[in-house]
Amino acid sequence: MPFDNENTYIKMVERNEEDLFHKKFEEDLERVTKFFDREYPNLVKEEVVEQEKLIHVSPLDGKTQIGKFQMSTKETSQRAVKIARENYKEWYSRGYLARAEIFLRASELLSQEKFEFSALLSYENGKNRYEAMGDVDEAIDFMRYYALNLIENQGFSRFTGTAYYGEDSKSIMKPYGVFLVVAPFNFFSITVGMASGPLIVGNSVILKPSSDIPLSSYKFVELMHRAGVPKTNLIYLSGSGGRVGRTLYTDDGVDGIVFTGSRDIGTKIFKESQEKRPKVAVTEMGGKDTIIVTDKCDIDKAVEGVAKSAFGYNGQKCSACSLALIDEKLYDTFKKKLVDFSSKLVIDDPRKKGTFAGPVINKEAYEKFQRIMETIPKNKILLGGKKIQREGFYVENTILDNVEDPNIERVELFLPILALKPIKSLKDAVEFVNSMEYGLTGGIFSEDRKEIDYYFNNADVGVIYANRRRGGSTGAMVGSQPFVGWKMSGTSGKGTGSFYYLQQFLREQAVTIVR
């Protein structure tokens, strides 16, 4: 079967079913509340309940209790590793076709339940209905793409020839054993993709979900078990990263770690996980994503592309534009148009149909926004800069005018804060981008193909776009745009949703038979 992106909203609009989309989403907004205010166990072969709990509260109002989750103990974590290790070979021995079929079945289950999952995300991490559905769609895409990629490559096994007469040799890619997945809050699809990669090729996976989307992650693990993944091979452990995560990634029984999150945590995991022996460490550590706007741009296209990239989901994306380098010849015109466009983006309850962005993820992010804004001179704030006085964790979209502060220009903020900076030339802009420690995503707005080619040929960035109005540095699609970080943004040099991704979780074995 050929791969096709799920793209629920776009396809329903094309079928004149936009009203049906909204009807189904709003029905499930009511339906998913039945899952709230319950206690959810860890899933370690069977259900495990711990003495200490974690309470997950919705950012929509800062008080609705989504659920009560377990603070995993060291003993539970170590038992999970033991179970996962003892059972991974049995999972691998089912064969690549059987594992791929289970993942295709799981993708169909998730497709059937996508309105429920997306409605749940609106409560859990505050996404509007379009972004929430797009997030679940991407999760479906990951499972389908990796299943088809595994089938296409015949489980990554191939004959390698005859070195000596009477010998037949082949290369077989085999799983390492056990992978720990430490997932972020901002994308359910990242959680699904990170778990799917090592699992589908035959490893066991222990999922430590973000404490900000534990329920959707729990329901994903349940769905995978329903689809046929053994409970001994996909384990769910909630808890704090500092306690649970470190216990697991330093455990000698864990062979690899897949992490998405901040640079500081990613580098800590990368270093500490290797202390006893070499381990696979696939880390995506964010970015300081920059869009360049030249004087040869279509300015309206550039304004929209920068604003949507900066303020979509409150800038809480690894790919969000947080710095725009604008040719000095159109700087004043551009910033006026950008402020006008951005001021019309609606910040409100994400359950409402017309909302562009909802709350930031939690109280910590809310207070971080205030601390940052206290350091900014008032005359540098072109738009926003304030918390919104209402229940929940809402802040204003904020645009800053040429704040020459490295803490603004070079540090990932993960908030709806966009810094503008005038630049003399495209060459200067690319040099500024390349001087960054990060290299995740970026973009250019120019109608001059020579300028575009110069940017593409010289930018040290893993994912780059030209003239993308829907989001100048955001919105990579599985299968078409592998999502890969360079420099401090990532360690593997291989992108999610690409044909290289799965081999990171396999090790090669050369097998020779003498006839």
Note the pLDDT tens digit of each residue in 248-259: 999 999 999 999
pLDDT, position 58:
97
Task: Please state the pTM of the whole predicted model.
Answer: 0.96
Domains (ranges, CATH) in the chain?
72-285+492-514 (3.40.605.10), 289-478 (3.40.309.10)
Token duo for residue 47: 């259900």
Q: What percent of the chain has pLDDT over 70?
A: 100
Report the SS3 class of residue 40: strand
The CA-based dihedral angle spanning residues 342, 348, 350, 356, taken in that order and rounded to the nearest 10 degrees = -10
Which residue, among 470, 426, 420, 475, has the nearest Cα to 301 in the 3D structure? Answer: 470
What is the arithmetic mean of pLDDT over 450-468? 98
Which among 284, 396, 412, 451 is annotated as catalytic?
A: 284
**First vs last Cα of the chain: how many Å apart?**
38
Query: How far is 441 from 465, CA to CA, in rounded Å?
Result: 8
pLDDT for res 242: 78
Q: What burial letters (b/e) apply to 366-376, b meaning 16+ CB within 10 Å?
A: bebbeebbeeb
Interval 68-115: pLDDT, tens: 999 999 999 999 999 999 999 999 999 999 999 999 999 999 999 999
The mean pLDDT value for 321-343 works out to: 98
**pLDDT at position 241, please?**
80
pLDDT band at 284 (very low <50, low <70, confident <90, very high): very high
Q: What is the pLDDT of residues 351-360, one digit of tens each?
A: 999 999 999 9
How far apart are alpha carbons 371 and 408 in whole angstroms? Answer: 12
pLDDT exceeds cutoff 80 at 340: yes
Which entry of 318, 321, 409, 451 is annotated as an active-site residue?
318
Per-residue confidence (pLDDT) for residue 515, from 0 to 100 = 87
- How confident is the model over 436-458, as pLDDT tens digits? 999 999 999 999 999 999 999 99
> Which residues lie below 8 Å from residue 325, measured CB to CB, with a gap of 6+?
290, 291, 292, 293, 421, 422, 423, 429, 432, 433
The pLDDT of residue 32: 97
Q: Is 321 a catalytic residue?
A: no
- CA dihedral over 229, 234, 235, 236, signed as positive or negative: negative
DSSP per position, 189-224: HHHHHHHHHHHHTT-EEEEE--TTSHHHHHHHHHHH
pLDDT at residue 12, rounded to an integer: 97
Q: How much is the pLDDT for 231? A: 98
The model's confidence at residue 155, banded by pLDDT at 50, 70 and 90, is: very high
DSSP single-letter state for residue 245: I
- What is residue 244's predicted lDDT score, i.e. its pLDDT? 86
Q: How far apart are CA 222 and CA 45, in angstroms?
A: 12
| pLDDT at res. 245 | 85
Helix (H, G, I), strand (E, B) or coil at 413: coil
Active site residue 318: yes
Measured over the CA atoms of residue 362, residue 364, residue 367 and residue 373, the dihedral's sign is negative
Q: What's the mean pLDDT in 111-139?
A: 97
At residue 217, the pLDDT reads 98
Query: In this model, does residue 1 exceed pLDDT 80?
Result: no
Report percent pLDDT > 90 for the chain: 96
Output the pLDDT for position 273: 92
pLDDT for the residue numbered 25: 98
Please spell the DSSP secondary structure of 260-326, one letter per residue.
Answer: ES-HHHHHHHHHHTTSSS--EEEEE----EEEEE-TTS-HHHHHHHHHHHHHGGGG-STT-EEEEEE
What confidence score (pLDDT) does residue 50 get? 95
Place of tokens 């009511």: 30
Average pLDDT, the chain: 96
User: What is the model's pLDDT at position 177?
Assistant: 98
